Amino acid sequence: KQEVTQIPAALSVPEGENLVLNCSFTDSAIYNLQWFRQDPGKGLTSLLLIQSSQREQTSGRLNASLDKSSGRSTLYIAASQPGDSATYLCAVQGDSSYKLIFGSGTRLLVRP
C-alpha cells in the first residue's frame, strides 16, 4: 500500500529565504507525482506535475525534483514571499489505477 510522507509538517521562514519541502513515498511504481498548494478553506492549486520518466520540473520560482528509485521528491521555493504562505501537498498517482495518494502536507509561513 502506497504511503506518502511530507517533512517538515510546518515551516516558518523570513521573507527572501530559499526553502526545500520534502516528500517521500514507499512504492516506486508511480505514474507521476504532483505538488499542490492549498490556501485555508480553499481547494487545491496544481503547482507542478512530474511524470515518472522525468527528473524535475520548473515553474517560475518553483522547482520540483523526482528520484523515483529512492522514493523522494523535493519542492524548492526560491526567494520566498509572504504570498507563498499556504499548505503544500505532495501526491503520487499509481501506475495502474490513477488514484492520487496525498501526503499530510507542509504548512508554510513566510514572515514579512
Partner 1 sequence: GAVVSQHPSWVICKSGTSVKIECRSLDFQATTMFWYRQFPKQSLMLMATSNEGSKATYEQGVEKDKFLINHASLTLSTLTVTSAHPEDSSFYICSANAETSGNHEQFFGPGTRLTVL
What would the grid cell of residue 102 be? 496525498
Residue in 44, 63, 72, 76 binding partner 1, rule: CB under 8 A: 44
Largest CA distance in the chain: 44
Q: Which residue in 96, 107, 103 sits closest to 72, CA to CA?
A: 103
Judged by CB under 8 A, the residue of 51, 58, 59, 81 near partner 1 is 51
64 lines the binding site for partner 1 (CB under 8 A): no
With binding defined as CB under 8 A, does residue 112 bind partner 1? Answer: no
CA–CA distance, 69 with 55 (Å, rounded to integer): 11
> Of 31 and 76, which has the nearer Cβ to partner 1?
31
Question: Is position 55 an interface residue for partner 1 (rule: CB under 8 A)?
Answer: no
Per rule CB under 8 A, is residue 11 in the interface with partner 1?
no
Q: How far is the CB of 99 from partner 1 (least distance, A)?
A: 6
> DSSP assignment, residue 55?
S
Paired residues of 22 in beta bridges: 7, 74
Residue 91, φ and ψ in degrees, nearest 5 = -145, 140
Residue ranges binding partner 1 (CB under 8 A)? 31-32, 34, 36, 41-44, 46, 49, 51, 89, 91, 93, 97-105
